[in-house]
Amino acid sequence: MSRKVLAIFLSLFWVTAISAQSKHPKFNVIAFYTGKNDLAHVSFVNEANRYFPEMAAKHNFSYQSTSNWNNLNAAFLSKYQVVLFLDTRPEEPEQRAAFKKYMENGGAWMGFHFAAFALEKSAYDMNWYWYHNTFLGSGAYGSNTWRPTSAILKVEDKKHPVNKNLPATFKAQPNEWYRWQNDLRKNPDIKILLAIDSASFPLGTGPKSHEIWQSGYYPVVWSNKNYKMIYINMGHNDMDYEHKYDNTNRTLSFTFDNEAQNNMILNGLIWLGTGKKVK
């Protein structure tokens, strides 16, 4: 082989190697979902499974999703740096134990909206103390606003990577906002990142009076200092509930139609996939 041919061969080899290396994802994400209960949650799951693959291609990470919660085991989770819960939580003891071990061993997690829901004597009973009280810190579900409504959110920790380049306040997408049993401000392990700004009140349209919040402090995005995790209360799209029995299932608002909110979510995902715990 001549020197010229050898030089061309080596050049092509290195170009191919560099190209392959650049396409290697920075981190791998697996999203778990159920996608069966509540039109708004199903709509969000479908939207998320369209949005995140686009972001993965743009920001060089991999994204996969599954509705098989039996995949929540050590062998399967070892392939992924970040786990997402899009709408629910694991129910089987083995699945819960595997997730707890994954998080305690340095895995990362992002959960949306209903993933934190728990209520005594409901289909999602308050029967996983570690997850709801130690990990999330929120305890049981308390109440919610209705109808899905936009809120003004305020940044509570400007230095946290999740809030990078966010304005001090911004208007979120319509959502069903949750109130929790526990006051997260009193938990030293919890870092509140975003909360509802007082400019949002009254929040909700009812028709029941308790569905309209007039005042109070409501965290909507937070992290636990002992884990690589972020909980995000968003994830309930507004639906055409008045015609839900016509089988139209029409979505009236989309969670990912909001630049500031999207930046926050993407900041969080990249931080979880590439960063370390922030004290």
Q: Residue 18: what pLDDT? A: 36
DSSP letter, residue 272: H
CB 190 within 8 A of CB 224: yes
Pairing of strands 28-32, 62-66: parallel
Rounded CA-CA distance 49/29 in Å is 12
For 170-221, the pLDDT digits (tens) are 999 999 999 999 999 999 999 999 999 999 999 999 999 999 999 999 999 9
**This model's pTM is above 0.75:** yes
For 65-79, the pLDDT digits (tens) are 999 999 999 999 999
Q: Which amino acid is at 168?
A: A
Rounded CA-CA distance 203/196 in Å is 10
Q: Which residues are CB-neighbours of 120 under 8 A, at least 6 positions away?
A: 126, 140
| Assigned token pair, 40 | 């708004």
pLDDT band at 259 (very low <50, low <70, confident <90, very high): very high
For 117-167, the pLDDT digits (tens) are 999 999 999 999 999 999 999 999 999 999 999 999 999 999 999 999 999
Q: How far is CA 138 from the centre of its chain?
A: 15
Rounded CA-CA distance 207/246 in Å is 22
Q: Residue 275: what pLDDT? A: 84
Domains of the chain: 25-143+176-196+218-274 (3.40.50.880)
For 69-110, the pLDDT digits (tens) are 999 999 999 999 999 999 999 999 999 999 999 999 999 999
CA nearest to 37, candidates 13, 3, 71, 67? 67
In this structure, what are the phi and psi dihedrals at residue 124, rounded to the nearest 5 degrees? -120, 75
| Assigned token pair, 137 | 């810190």
Q: Residue 154: what pLDDT? A: 98
H-helix or E-strand spanning residue 58: helix 39-59
